[in-house]
Structure 1
Amino acid sequence: MSTPPLEEKQHGIEVVDSHGYLQDHHSGDEEVGVVNKAAPLSRDLQNRHMQMIAIGGSIGAGLFVGSGKVLQSGGPASLIICYMIVGVMLLFTCQALAEMAVLYPVNGAFYTYVVRFVDPSWGFAMGWDYALSWLTVLPFELTAASITIRFWRDDINVGVWITVFLVVLSVIQIFGVRGYGEVEFILSIIKILACIGFIILGIVINCGGTWKTATNPDYRHYLGAKYWHDPGAFNNGFNGFCGVFVVAAFAFGGTEMVGLAAAESANPRKSIPLATKQVFWRICFFYIVNLFILGLIVKSSDDRLLNSKGANTKYSPFVIAIQDAGIKVLPSIFNAVITIAVISVANSCTFGSTRTMQALAERGMAPKFLAYVDKHGRPLWCIVIQILFGFLAFIGEAGNSDDIFAWLLSLSGLGYFFVWGSICLAHIRFRSGWKAQGYSLDQIPYKPTLGVAGSWVGFLLNIICLMATFYNALYPSPDSKPDAKAFFQAYLAAPVVLFLYLLWKVISRDWRRLYVPLLQMDLKSGLRMLEQHEIDAAAQQKSLKSLPMRIVHGLF
């Protein structure tokens, strides 16, 4: 994987050297640093696709299954607090990403921003870490979707369903990004309706409304906050609290996909801000409210929650609550929703990994053949690689499949913290470079309500989450001692990211600096800033709104 020397000037556009540093000012839309120019990706994602991707795109096993294990290990209060912390962090992260994605709707989104505004080597590490995360999550999601079928038929081998779902995903890829968008639109609506339905049912259960049919004696009476007192709001002290963060990251993983989809959006200036504002609703309503209701109606000491992990969807805390309510048919319906949710995340896997690998290849940071995009705007070889990774799902037939999946997933949950922190850092660096090169904030089409301050909060929260996860990796429970295997299964992404960072430093032989100087940042290629008449119109509209109204408008 060699890097080319300084490219030639073409059509008045200056390019960057092999390390990704801008050599001179330039004009035009061509992306500098691109060494393997490919056909453009298709721009078929509409506003409705983007909004549904933002609201329900990543709701899957992390919420419907993984929440049960951390409810048992951390308690209902830890569950809510940690998910809220990660949710707030992600809200600021997505707003920072939206600003850059509207201004630069280019291939690779945040990976490209990290390369241009932070450091090419760190961008290489983030790009490959993100791609590997989605590559390895796909076989897990396929297995999880297949295991949900055991709820109805446990006499059919899991491998049969893995094959069926893998074929379905392959067919979706034939229709390109439009196929991805349409599938996510439909499946997200189903997931959203299920979340709303569970909230209503949870309130009824908590108020004792199912007493005639309930198989759980507690459900025959008003529960209130009973389970927050017995067995308690927190389990396993600080260790249990810290252990929730990785599962929360896995549950929220994919929210940043909105920024990645910018390059294939028909109207990124309109659709991305609208989609980003929907993240607020997903965090508050579909995660926090659902999990709060869940903690009120499911005991954290329930032994069944011990199996609520990995791909074992049979012990979803949501299904457990419905079964204990004694409502016929509904457990099967919700299990079908979980199957749909997991397939939806598997569909997102193919999008996240393929677009990132294609962007990496365009910059010479991946094998050249991965940059190929066909006439229909599909990165074909990247799709082939992702589908081949899907065949790893068949390791579920191995006797030690749980251990194998634990190692595969060790790259994903923690890796999101590095990616989200890097997005915030890229935004902070971008704003500094924007000011240093003489640009005005008025020229930026979309700006987060809290600006750079929000990115600083998001960046610091990511660091805190990494520290908490590190502590939990060493001491999973109050009476545990450090164990090398358990530590690396929980924290493997950190040494992998460090290895990738140093690998590109060695390949590029770029040891001159640790970051891109402000005056050498590429702020012009792919730029879509406001024209003067648009700035005047925006200023007039802003003057009509009070500060509180501007804050509300920024969120909603």
Structure 2
Amino acid sequence: GWLPNGLIPLFTTLLIVNFAFNGTEMIGIAAGETENPEKNVPKAIHAAVWRLIIFFVGTIVVISSLLPYSDAGLNAGGHGGLSSSPFVTVFNLMGIPYAEDFIRFVIITALLSTANSGLYAASRMMWALSAQNQLPRVFAKVSKSGVPVVAVWVTMIGGLPGLLSEQFGADVIFKNLMGVAAFTMVIVWMSICWSQFNFRRQWLRQGRSASELKFRTPWFPLVPILGFICCTATGLSMAADPEMLSGFIGCLLFMATCYASYYWLYHNKT
């Protein structure tokens, strides 16, 4: 049946769901280096939406149609880990051999893709901040081919603690790392929704029309408003999980430090 454990589990998993959707905003980051962005960026946005519907929503529909909810968790049947994944369970029921090995291959491929896109986005952000004098100028250094070398190396070195965490309380550290990544993405999407809302209002106030825009947000202003509200609720859900509370507090302190340092640098320069 629908919602066998009520509405609360739906909200407590929103942050993890947001973590899984992490990365779609990189279309905007890549737009600055895209040839013919008026054509290719809307094309990429539409493709991303359809892929999310097919591979995320479609997968959930298939699994929930084939398995009872009690057998779809990672700890179903008293077992844990990859072998009890709902994907493996479905493949085994269909009689597909080497299901666990197949899922491992898919996960490794997805991890490599995620690491590659994360390295691209993080290094480009550091380069952009450096170019705007919000980070030391050394991060703006690029190679002959236009690659921000220093930013790439710093990003790669910064990812090493994530690999080492497996040896020191892997479950707690991983959950907090995932929560921190998801929370920061929630903040990013809140800023995207807020910026889109203000941008359209300013655009219309200047006497221009929405038809002049090469790509228009559908159902404006409902989409950015709902997006902002849902992201706010998702971010606050992190504070409701005792294991993620430390990560939530750490994120708030880090954001406060960033704003304070920017405020201090801005006023010193002016």
TM class, shorter-chain normalised?
0.7 to 0.9
- 1:241 maps to a residue whose letter is L
Equivalent residue, structure 2, for 1:287: 56
Contact persistence 1:370–1:382 (CA under 8 A)? yes
Output the CA distance in 2 between the equivalents of 1:413 and 1:277: 23
Equivalent residue, structure 1, for 2:173: 404
- 2:108 maps to a residue whose letter is T
- 1:296 maps to a residue whose letter is S
- Contiguous gaps of at least 5 residues in structure 1: 1-227, 477-482, 511-556
Of residues 37, 60, 66, the one that matches 1:297 is 66
Question: Are residue 342 (structure 1) and residue 100 (structure 2) matched?
Answer: no
Post-superposition Cα deviations, 1:374-395, rounded to whole Å, max 9, x if no partner, equal 2201111111012212322441
Contact persistence 1:411–1:493 (CA under 8 A)? yes
- 2:262 maps to a residue whose letter is W
Contact persistence 1:354–1:386 (CA under 8 A)? yes
Question: Are residue 445 (structure 1) and residue 214 (structure 2) matched?
Answer: yes
Contact persistence 2:175–2:244 (CA under 8 A)? no
Equivalent residue, structure 2, for 1:363: 132
Of residues 214, 226, 235, the one that matches 1:466 is 235
Indicate how the Cα distance of structure 1 residues 389 and 315 shifts in structure 2: closer, same or farther if over 3 A, else same. farther
Of residues 234, 242, 245, the one that matches 1:487 is 245
Output the CA distance in 1 between the equivalents of 2:113 and 2:219: 32
Q: Secondary structure at the match of 1:509?
A: helix
Contact persistence 1:373–1:380 (CA under 8 A)? yes
Q: Which has the larger radius of gyration?
A: 1
Indicate how the Cα distance of structure 1 residues 386 and 314 shifts in structure 2: closer, same or farther if over 3 A, else same. farther
Contact persistence 2:74–2:82 (CA under 8 A)? no
Question: Are residue 503 (structure 1) and residue 261 (structure 2) matched?
Answer: yes
- Contiguous gaps of at least 5 residues in structure 2: none
Contact persistence 2:176–2:244 (CA under 8 A)? no
Of residues 10, 19, 24, the one that matches 1:255 is 24
Post-superposition Cα deviations, 1:435-487, rounded to whole Å, max 9, x if no partner, equal 344544444222223244432232233233334x15xx32x5xxxxxx4x542
Contact persistence 2:82–2:100 (CA under 8 A)? no
- Where in structure 2 are the equivalents of 1:137-176 lying within 5 Å? none
TM-score (norm 2): 0.85
Question: Are residue 317 (structure 1) and residue 102 (structure 2) matched?
Answer: no
- Where in structure 2 are the equivalents of 1:1-400 lying within 5 Å? 228=1, 233-302=2-71, 305-306=74-75, 313-396=82-165, 398-400=167-169
Contact persistence 1:374–1:380 (CA under 8 A)? yes
Output the CA distance in 1 between the equivalents of 2:63 and 2:72: 16
Question: Are residue 431 (structure 1) and residue 200 (structure 2) matched?
Answer: yes
Output the CA distance in 2 between the equivalents of 1:258 and 1:488: 31
Contact persistence 1:319–1:335 (CA under 8 A)? no
What is the CA-CA distance between 1:365 and the residue it aligns to? 1.1
What is the CA-CA distance between 1:297 and the residue it aligns to? 2.4
Output the CA distance in 1 between the equivalents of 2:148 and 2:137: 12
Indicate how the Cα distance of structure 1 residues 374 and 497 shifts in structure 2: closer, same or farther if over 3 A, else same. same
Output the CA distance in 2 between the equivalents of 1:292 and 1:466: 26
Contact persistence 1:410–1:491 (CA under 8 A)? no
Output the CA distance in 2 between the equivalents of 1:323 and 1:358: 47
Output the CA distance in 1 between the equivalents of 2:35 and 2:229: 34
Indicate how the Cα distance of structure 1 residues 369 and 440 shifts in structure 2: closer, same or farther if over 3 A, else same. same
Instruction: Point out the structure with the larger helix share.
Output: 2
Output the CA distance in 2 between the equivalents of 1:491 and 1:388: 24
Indicate how the Cα distance of structure 1 residues 315 and 427 shifts in structure 2: closer, same or farther if over 3 A, else same. same
Of residues 404, 414, 424, the one that matches 2:183 is 414
Indicate how the Cα distance of structure 1 residues 360 and 316 shifts in structure 2: closer, same or farther if over 3 A, else same. farther
- 1:499 maps to a residue whose letter is T
Output the CA distance in 2 between the equivalents of 1:285 and 1:326: 23
Output the CA distance in 2 between the equivalents of 1:427 and 1:366: 26
CA RMSD for the aligned pairs? Answer: 2.7
User: Runs ≥4 in structure 1, deviation > 6 angstroms?
Assistant: none
Post-superposition Cα deviations, 1:513-548, rounded to whole Å, max 9, x if no partner, equal xxxxxxxxxxxxxxxxxxxxxxxxxxxxxxxxxxxx
Output the CA distance in 1 between the equivalents of 2:180 and 2:203: 33
Percent of matched pairs sharing the same residue = 26
- 1:339 maps to a residue whose letter is I
Contact persistence 1:298–1:321 (CA under 8 A)? yes
Output the CA distance in 1 between the equivalents of 2:82 and 2:121: 24
Output the CA distance in 1 between the equivalents of 2:83 and 2:112: 16
TM-score (norm 1): 0.44
- 1:434 maps to a residue whose letter is W
Post-superposition Cα deviations, 1:227-280, rounded to whole Å, max 9, x if no partner, equal x3xxxx325433312111011101100011111110111111110011111233
Output the CA distance in 2 between the equivalents of 1:315 and 1:266: 44
